[in-house]
Amino acid sequence: MEIDLKELCTRESERVEWKENGTDDEVVKSIAKTISAFANDISNLGGGYVVCGAKEGRDEYGFPKVIYTGLSSTALKTIEGKVLQYCREAISPALVPIVSELENPEDKSSRILVFTVLASPDVHSYRDKAGNGQTCYIRISRETREARNGLYLQLLTKKNKVEFFDKRVNPAATIADLDLLTLREYLQEIDSAFLDKPLEYYISDVNQISAYLPPLFVKSGLDNVLRPRNFALLLFGKQESIARLFTEAYTVFSVYPGTDRSGPIAERYTINGNLVWQARRIIALLDAQNATLFDKSSNRPNQEKYPGGVLHEAAVNAVVHRDYEIQSPNRVTVFGDRIEINSMGTLHWSVDKEQFLAGKSSPFWRNQSLAYIFNRLQLAQAEGQGMATIFKTMEREGYPRPIFELGAQNINCIIPAYAGGNKPTQSASVQ
């Protein structure tokens, strides 16, 4: 396999790890951990490279530069042997990276050692010989980190080792936790043809309400009891059951008269219950805050403070695409000059950050089952249209550009109020 060192210098730091040397045991361990992280490939980059005999430095202008320190023949063989040993004995399942020996472009008397790691369909853990247990590592930007809590679950989900949250069976729930009247009502709203079959037909681990959704229930292997999947509970569950099973699956709606949280709260609502009810209640409260502005100096004298369609789309996105395993509620906060819709959960690993912020990201449904039902209820846009709708609508109607703040466990959508002025003659493209 041919390796071009110049090309590696231009690769994303997520895909390349530089090591000046590797004869020390602690450095060898770090190389093995990074190899397991590249194989786990949580960012879907295809793997990565560990380059020994080079280090990252700075040029005379302060820009990143690779310095080729090189390895002697003895050091190269020692590092290769130790790293491959750790890959066999400390990583489970074992890994065999591709090993390449390259000439040092700055010193012909030494060599550069490259370990090429391909993405693996398995989840690889690293076992410390000191007996400290097994740890899964992933690559986040230029760092190799432990995959803890939500990141570990993302890794398992990516590798198809566990079902996505919405389709997972809930072992603490039974049929009694579903509101069958709500189920019938929503099914009828989606398509009256559902009424051709008795409701009991869908209380099954076999029959589906759509070819795009799994059955609402799974039959437990131990007690043979039908237990609902998470999406069935969140969409059709009783209010008290949802509060018990998903303690943070609610939204806090607050209204402040000023531009920050220092003043008294004018209004505050806690919105709970099934997700369809929550989304519709949030939309109603947002509509109540959306005044019509009268500006005689503008060619748009009767302008809404916010574009209603954008508010609706952002609210539904926050409910449908949030991470329901994070123990914190969503929050919608209305200020005098903006509305902030804070949804729990980070961008999925398959979504490009820059494309997302430009309103051009490829569609990915974190909770596919929820998104499908919301779409059929005409509460959500068709696949991939939501973000584009938000950006294009605000641009076309002359509103300030929306802002998305990407936190460690949340996405905050900030929708600025109409600031006055005339409608643009044509819509510029979203960059």
Q: Please check whether residue 37 lies inside any domain of the structure.
A: yes
The pLDDT, as a whole number, for residue 65 is 79
Alpha-carbon span 17 to 34, nearest angstrom: 8
Alpha-carbon span 372 to 361, nearest angstrom: 19
The pLDDT, as a whole number, for residue 430 is 31
Whether residues 177 and 222 share a domain: the answer is yes
Whether residues 185 and 316 share a domain: the answer is no
DSSP 63-99: -EEEEE--B-HHHHHHHHHHHHHHHHHTEES----EE
| pLDDT tens-digit series, residues 69-125 | 999 999 999 999 999 999 999 999 999 999 999 999 888 899 999 999 998 989 999
The pLDDT, as a whole number, for residue 34 is 95
Give the closest residue to 413 by CA, choosing from 398, 401, 429, 425: 401
The pLDDT, as a whole number, for residue 172 is 94
The pLDDT, as a whole number, for residue 296 is 52
Any idea which residue has 């550069």 for tokens?
112
Q: Which of 18-27, 109-118, 210-219, 316-325 has the lowest mean pLDDT?
A: 18-27
Q: What is the mean pLDDT of residues 228-255?
A: 96
Q: When comparing pLDDT for 424 and 402, which is higher?
A: 402
Q: Please check whether residue 185 lies inside any domain of the structure.
A: yes
pLDDT at 400 over 60: yes
Q: What is the mean pLDDT of residues 19-33?
A: 87
Name residues whose C-beta falls within 8 Å of residue 16's C-beta, 6 or more positions apart in sequence: 8, 48, 49, 50, 51
Any idea which residue has 């996105």 for tokens?
317
Alpha-carbon span 26 to 225, nearest angstrom: 51
Whether residues 92 and 229 share a domain: the answer is no
Whether residues 341 and 192 share a domain: the answer is no
Number of residues that make up the chain = 431
Whether residues 212 and 78 share a domain: the answer is no
The pLDDT, as a whole number, for residue 364 is 62
Joined tokens for residue 321: 């695409």
Give the closest residue to 142 by CA, choosing from 34, 36, 39, 69: 34
Identify the band that residue 398 occupies on the pLDDT scale cut at 50, 70 and 90. confident
Burial environment of residue 130 by CB neighbours within 10 A (0 to 12, 13 to 18, 19 or more): exposed
Contacts 24+ apart (CB under 8 A), 269-272: 272/239, 272/242, 272/243
Identify the band that residue 230 occupies on the pLDDT scale cut at 50, 70 and 90. very high
Whether residues 276 and 171 share a domain: the answer is no
Whether residues 175 and 156 share a domain: the answer is no
Q: Is 10 left (phi over 0), alpha (psi -120 to 50) or beta?
A: alpha
Burial environment of residue 53 by CB neighbours within 10 A (0 to 12, 13 to 18, 19 or more): buried
Q: Please check whether residue 376 lies inside any domain of the structure.
A: yes
pLDDT at 390 over 50: yes
The pLDDT, as a whole number, for residue 424 is 39
Alpha-carbon span 271 to 259, nearest angstrom: 23
* Inter-CA distances, 127 with 44, 85, 161, 310, Å: 24, 13, 20, 49
The pLDDT, as a whole number, for residue 179 is 97
Final residue of a domain: which of 238, 263, 287? 238
CB 343 within 8 A of CB 251: no
Any idea which residue has 């995959």 for tokens?
147
Q: How many CB atoms lie within 10 A of CB 213?
A: 17
SS3 string of 202-232?
HCCCCCCCCCCCCCCEEECCCCCCEEEEHHH
The pLDDT, as a whole number, for residue 180 is 94
Q: What is the mean pLDDT of residues 356-362?
A: 70
Give the closest residue to 352 by CA, choosing from 16, 10, 143, 44: 44
Identify the band that residue 6 occupies on the pLDDT scale cut at 50, 70 and 90. confident
Answer positive or negative: Cα dihedral of 52, 57, 59, 65.
Answer: positive
Q: pTM for the complete prediction?
A: 0.65
| pLDDT tens-digit series, residues 137-147 | 998 878 899 98
- Please give the mean pLDDT across all residues of the chain: 85
Alpha-carbon span 30 to 52, nearest angstrom: 12
Whether residues 39 and 80 share a domain: the answer is yes
Boundaries of domain holding 144: 5-162
Percent of the chain exceeding pLDDT 90 equals 47
Q: Please check whether residue 427 lies inside any domain of the structure.
A: no
Whether residues 262 and 408 share a domain: the answer is yes
Q: Please check whether residue 218 lies inside any domain of the structure.
A: yes
Q: Please check whether residue 118 lies inside any domain of the structure.
A: yes
The pLDDT, as a whole number, for residue 422 is 44
Q: Which of 31-35, 190-194, 337-341 has the lowest mean pLDDT?
A: 190-194
The pLDDT, as a whole number, for residue 277 is 97
Query: Reduced to 3 states, what is the DSSP secondary structure of residue 17?
Result: strand
Name residues whose C-beta falls within 8 Å of residue 247's C-beta, 6 or more positions apart in sequence: 327
Whether residues 324 and 351 share a domain: the answer is yes
Whether residues 208 and 268 share a domain: the answer is no
Beta bridge partners of 403: 414
Q: Please check whether residue 317 lies inside any domain of the structure.
A: yes
Look up the CATH number of the domain holding residue 293: 3.30.565.60
Identify the band that residue 425 occupies on the pLDDT scale cut at 50, 70 and 90. very low
The pLDDT, as a whole number, for residue 132 is 61
Q: Which of 110-114, 294-298, 383-387 has the highest mean pLDDT?
A: 110-114
Look up the CATH number of the domain holding residue 155: 3.30.950.30
Q: What is the mean pLDDT of residues 293-312?
A: 71
| Total number of domains constituting the chain | 3
Whether residues 288 and 374 share a domain: the answer is yes
Q: Please check whether residue 246 lies inside any domain of the structure.
A: no
Q: Which of 18-27, 71-80, 94-103, 324-333 has the lowest mean pLDDT?
A: 18-27
Final residue of a domain: which of 112, 138, 162? 162
The pLDDT, as a whole number, for residue 427 is 33
Identify the band that residue 429 occupies on the pLDDT scale cut at 50, 70 and 90. very low
Final residue of a domain: which of 113, 129, 162? 162
Give the closest residue to 43 by CA, choosing from 12, 67, 64: 12
Name residues whose C-beta falls within 8 Å of residue 11's C-beta, 6 or more positions apart in sequence: 49
